[in-house]
Amino acid sequence: MLNKVMNGYQRTRATLEGARPAAPPVMLHNFMMAAAESGVSMGVFRSDPVQMARCFTESIERYGLDGIMVDVDTATLAGAVGVPVVFPDDEPAVCRGELLSSLNEVRDLPPVDIGRYPGVQVWLEAVRIIKRHFGDEIYLRGNCDQCPFSLAAHIRGASGWMMDLMDPGNEADAHALLDFCTDITTQFIRLMAATGAHMVSNGDSSSGPSVVSPRIYRTFAQPYEKRVVEVAHQLGVPYALHICGKTDQILLNMVETGSDALELDSKTDASRAAEVLGDRATFIGNLDPTTVLAHGTPRLVEERTRALLHTFSGTRRFILNAGCAIVASTPPENIRAMVHIAKQGYEETA
């Protein structure tokens, strides 16, 4: 265990490399709360990189975080390829409709340069600003929106995509769409790596057991996640994968993508995850963002945080976070309670 004084970047990097620091790093997935606490609407947040960067910077400094995940919404890549998107001023952007009315239209999809899309440009510039401000003092995780499977669900429409995958006759077209989406996702990975972000990541929530079977995941999601991870590693940056819901059935498959870290939902059994991940991948999570962080008391947050530290006390690769995005209404005292327990370190919370 490393006991020397470390900054947030050093503590997080050590954890990702399997050299456990005395206290686990805290890296939050808190873009909605960060915007709300800085008095910025989601409309301004998504359109002004200076304001977005300010929100994250103030959150890092307010709570003494070791790292931050720069996220915006789950509709940016979909919007970049032409999926209809709505942009509420007080909520993250969401898809409203599909781009393809049938899967066989996939062959007609034109190439897309996502770097020209304003939402992508704002996202990237915010990361650059944060990196210039902190340098290597805190660990900067640039999220890159959706993995290929979940992006395909946006392009085809969630219900249509799920029905398509039930018909073996659609398999060739399904893989063609996933190839298209892999190009889109990896474009973002390449652009994000060029900002100086220390780590890149994606979400692939439509691929989890809460939505599709493990067989569907292994056939249509995992191979493309592997390709995305390979691109990140070719660029020399670690990669984190997030899937919502209870992922116990596919934990080993997720590890086999080669991801350096898995950000796992609170519905996933942390003890099971600790057993499966071991020191093969870093666990990021997994406090419940709703019942514990948003609606719980500081005492409850402290209890659940201590329990997580105890669960992972036998491993070297654990980063404390919520299991998914932290909601805007989360009480600040609950985040402080979470950070306070983490900074006490493994030995004090044993």
Q: Which two tokens stand for residue 287?
A: 């406090």
pLDDT in tens, 304-345: 999 999 999 989 999 999 999 999 999 999 999 999 999 998
First to last CA, the chain: 15
In the chain, the domains with their CATH numbers are 8-348 (3.20.20.210)
Virtual torsion, Cα 6, 10, 16, 19, nearest 10 deg? -50
- Give the model's pLDDT for residue 292: 97
Q: Which residues contact 248 (CB under 8 A, 6 or more apart)?
A: 209, 268, 269, 272, 273
The CA R_g of the chain, rounded to the nearest whole Å, is 19
**How far is the CA of 40 from the CAs of 37, 65, 129, 174, in angstroms?**
8, 20, 17, 40
- Give the model's pLDDT for residue 346: 79
**How far is the CA of 100 from the CAs of 83, 163, 176, 181, 219, in angstroms?**
9, 14, 13, 13, 22
- Give the model's pLDDT for residue 4: 61
Q: Which residues contact 162 (CB under 8 A, 6 or more apart)?
A: 153, 211, 212
pTM: 0.96
Contact predicate 301/334, CB 8 Å:
yes
Q: CA-CA distance, 273 to 173, in Å (whole number)?
A: 34
Residue with tokens 């890549």: 77
Virtual torsion, Cα 123, 125, 130, 133, nearest 10 deg? -170
Contact predicate 144/192, CB 8 Å:
yes
- Give the model's pLDDT for residue 348: 60
- Give the model's pLDDT for residue 76: 98
pLDDT < 50 positions in the chain: none
- Give the model's pLDDT for residue 300: 98
pLDDT in tens, 89-110: 999 999 999 999 999 999 999 9
